[in-house]
Amino acid sequence: MEHSGKDQLEALAEIRGLMERSTRFLSLSGLSGVFAGIYALIGAGAAYWHLKLNVYDRAYYAYLKSSESAMMKFMMFFFFDAGMVLALTLLTAIYFTGKKASRQGQSIFDKTALRLIAHLFFPLIAGGIFCLALIDYGFFGLIAPVMLIFYGIGLINASKFTFENVRYLGLAEVVLGLIASFNTGYGLFFWCIGFGFFHIVYGIYMYIKFDK
């Protein structure tokens, strides 16, 4: 009887695992988070070095508004820099997550993964369009806070299709973005914390807990 009860518990655990895998994408790699943070820090350093000034500093706003060439230089480098960080992050995430998914017998592009991507990227696209509006109206100081807030919303939105812990990272990003919105002269600093250090710390945690 005792053996039968144990078998039933194991069967229930197996059924629960199958149901969880069918509704949640559990192959996200912690290493991809670590690399995303490193790329973000490199991108922020490149922006600071190339533009010579903190692009979110209040003294820089009037300069950008008064100089069309400075605005064009800022726009071109900003989108190139952000695009490179995003591209490297996505490629790295696909590589490490694909390897982990292969080991677990899960497809990186199954229905659950596609739901995860859709729920993450919808807020990101909306936030990106809003950032274009901010740039058009000259509200450069709010770009970094808006990015952090919408990214956090995307993580919270996507967490229902992956690890529950992703929600906490999302909440941290939103809170940081709200704090940054009241400290617009330090956007690059908050960018480094939110997209850099938060990702590195969270990626290490995920790697130790789920990847090893």
Each residue's pLDDT expressed in tens, for the chain with a length of 212 residues: 445 555 444 444 444 444 444 445 556 788 888 999 999 999 988 877 876 655 555 555 566 666 667 677 777 787 888 889 989 998 998 888 888 777 777 677 778 778 888 899 999 999 999 998 988 887 878 888 999 999 999 999 988 888 888 999 999 999 999 999 998 878 888 989 999 999 999 999 988 887 66
> Is residue 32 within 8 Å of 93, Cβ to Cβ?
yes
Q: For the chain, where are the alpha helices, taking DSSP H only?
A: 2-23, 30-51, 58-66, 68-103, 111-137, 143-158, 165-181, 187-191, 198-206
Classify each residue of 11-48 as buried b or exposed e, where b means 16 or more C-beta atoms within 10 Å of its C-beta: eeeeeeeeeebeebbbbbbbbbbbbbbbbbbebbeebe
Q: What is the pTM of this model?
A: 0.80
CA 36 to chain centre: 8
Token representation of residue 93: 């995430």
> Is residue 159 within 8 Å of 166, Cβ to Cβ?
yes
Following CA atoms 118, 119, 125, 127 in sequence, which dihedral angle do they give, to the nearest 10 degrees? -170
Q: 117-121: which pairs have CB atoms within 8 A and are 24 or more residues apart?
A: 117/158, 119/154, 119/157, 119/158, 119/160, 119/161, 120/154, 120/155, 120/157, 120/158, 121/154
pLDDT at 169: 94
Look-up: residue for tokens 């952090």? Answer: 148
pLDDT at 22: 47
**Sign, CA torsion 184/198/78/132:** negative
pLDDT at 63: 61
Over the Cα atoms of the chain, what is R_g? 20
